[in-house]
Structure 1
Amino acid sequence: MTMPRLSEPSRRALLGLAAAAVGAGLAASLAKLFPWQRAGRDGDRPVADKPYDARENDANLSVTGLTEDELRERGITRMTLGRLPLPSGAVIAADPLVQPERPAFTRTVPPGDYPVTLYRAQDRVALAELRIADGTPEHWDLALVPGQDIATLKAGEIFGYPVDAGLGCFMDPVARDAMQRRDAQEQKRNARYSNYYDDVLADELKDSDLNWVMHRPLPEEPAQVAVFASGWGDGVYASYWGLDAGGRMLRLVTDFGVIENGEGRDPRKVAVTAALAALSPAQRRDSARGYEALRCDDHAAFAALLDAGRIAPETPIEETQGTFTFEAIRLDKPAALERLVRHGAPLLMPPYLQIGDERKTYPAYARDLTASRSPQLLAVIEAWERAGSIDTPSRGQTLP
């Protein structure tokens, strides 16, 4: 099958090795290629001295059993993609454009048609579910392909499929064969044929803003592929079997790493919402007055609120959802920042304001701004850095 060009030579080499291993029937070699650290958007690292815990992803997977109202409270929506034919009972989960040769899971289901449901959060496909039978799973097992051994995993590691085209899928091997035949037909028919995505899938995906489609490779055949966007994009994603108390398979779910602990809302927004909710009505009023004084350079009013303990450097501001320290830097208010530093402003920003490893402190934020801050503000920051520590706690109200 003609594939899109991959962006990194090392990734091309890795996927090439994987395809070669499958083609040669070397499932054990494939297994060694894909134990993968489960990495959230903040780059979580596994605890190397602990074994794999099959329950560590239960909170995410269990949202498939929630009601619509319960999902809505968590910022998650459910949508039905359609029924997927599985005539052989074998299930392949893969990026259909990058590794179509990936083998089916070791477990099989009774041949038949099964509904595919997508769960969306933060405008992304967070989970893809193949519903096999009614019921609520009692436990979840990591879905494996031949040669993978769960005993080799450590905490935070998974076996999953690699994504480099931003897509995942569920399909029967029959549908995989149909895709390969369609690819061969298009190459023979169209001298300008580029690849399966651009020349076949893209038009079908347009109606869903490139997020999902129930793709029929050959119109004259019943084989279909449930195709969907893979969360935040490229990565390695695991699938899990949901089983009842007797070990009966109820569903197969792929987790794309969008939700955390069953919560679909942006954790940063959840944190600031909780912090604002924790303020009393009087504290909210003081925060609003303090922000107005900060914006208008009313130094006397701002100092009075700080000195009286009615606001603090890390008090959240409802209008902007930043802290007073953050807003003093954003608005380039050196006098206010200097006073906040004297009142114990920490160098380390609250987690919801941090971005990756590069912008965790207020000074880093100040230097990262497109418009340079004033020399006066930068002088305050330099003195603050010389005297402070990122471990120094702030006094007064703070975000969790």
Structure 2
Amino acid sequence: MERIQVSKEWMQKYEEIKSLMTSPVNYAQCFGMKEIQGKEIFVLDMGEVTFPSGEILVRDPLVWLNRNEKPYLQSVPIGKFKVNTLVAKIEEDHYRYVLSRVKFTEEIPVIYYEALKGDENLDSFEEDSIFGFPVDAGLATIVDVETKNAYCDFVDNWYKKNSGKNIYDDFFLQLFLKKMQWKIHFIREREEIG
């Protein structure tokens, strides 16, 4: 598979600090709440995601989903799974995505560990540190490595046929608006997206 070759030293350090990388928040409970920190919240059904290999990654698809990106160390079950996103109403007509989940099972998770690739610098890790993933375009996607590779092929071919165009403005935006018609108030205006 495409995973990073993890050094023995990295794994040893990871095992030493793994217990510090647990979340104090039970994210599953958040999806049952009506409000968080005084903000009304909604759960959006985002459809399903397919994981043909179980090797996954989460990235900003317009900037950081490229052939060189490696999956997380932890694999997931192979198959199709529901995806939900928690949205907070910040103020009238102003919404923010708070978190998303892939529902692998109906069981309630008892612990959450941070997803890692195996190349993170663990030497300076502190209890409140997080690694996360970079976001430049304000988007995030959860994909299997097979889907990532197919997406990269699609992007390469699209730009060959659409020289001088922008894949977000000239392709994805129209798809988003069409697919999300009933959720349109959760999509920010183009000038806010940047």
TM-score of the two chains, using structure 1 as the length reference: 0.37
Higher RCO structure (Cα 8 Å, ≥6 apart): 2
Aligned residue number for residue 144 of structure 2: 172
Change (3 A) 1:167 1:211: farther
SS state at 2:34 partner: helix
Equivalent residue in structure 1 for 2:99, among 119, 127, 136: 127
Equivalenced residue count is 165
1:205 and 2:141 matched: no
Q: Does the 8 A contact of 2:28 with 2:108 survive in 1?
A: no
Q: Does the 8 A contact of 2:5 with 2:118 survive in 1?
A: no
Change (3 A) 1:151 1:136: farther
Aligned residue type for 2:173: A
Deviation at 1:26, TM superposition (A): 8.1
Q: Does the 8 A contact of 2:47 with 2:82 survive in 1?
A: yes
Deviation at 1:105, TM superposition (A): 0.7
SS state at 2:152 partner: helix
SS state at 1:144 partner: coil
Change (3 A) 1:184 1:78: same
Structure whose CA Rg is larger: 1
1:96 and 2:71 matched: no
Q: Does the 8 A contact of 1:119 with 1:128 survive in 2?
A: yes
In proportion to residue count, which structure has more strand? Answer: 2
In proportion to residue count, which structure has more helix? Answer: 1
Q: What do residues 129-187 of structure 1 show as CA deviations (whole Å, max 9, x unaligned)?
A: 01111211211111101223656411321111111111111011111112212122222
SS state at 1:139 partner: coil
Aligned residue number for residue 160 of structure 2: 188
Q: Distance in 1 between matches of 2:193 and 2:163?
A: 30
Deviation at 1:66, TM superposition (A): 5.1
TM-score of the two chains, using structure 2 as the length reference: 0.71
Aligned residue number for residue 266 of structure 1: none
Aligned residue type for 1:198: D
Q: Does the 8 A contact of 2:28 with 2:109 survive in 1?
A: no
Deviation at 1:120, TM superposition (A): 0.7
Change (3 A) 1:66 1:154: closer
1:64 and 2:36 matched: no
Change (3 A) 1:73 1:185: closer
Coordinate RMSD, CA, aligned? 3.2
Aligned residue type for 1:144: L
Q: Does the 8 A contact of 1:87 with 1:111 survive in 2?
A: yes
Q: Does the 8 A contact of 1:103 with 1:146 survive in 2?
A: no
Change (3 A) 1:89 1:210: farther
Aligned residue number for residue 131 of structure 2: 159
Gaps of 5+ in 1: 1-22, 32-50, 213-231, 235-400
Aligned residue number for residue 138 of structure 1: 110
Gaps of 5+ in 2: 11-17
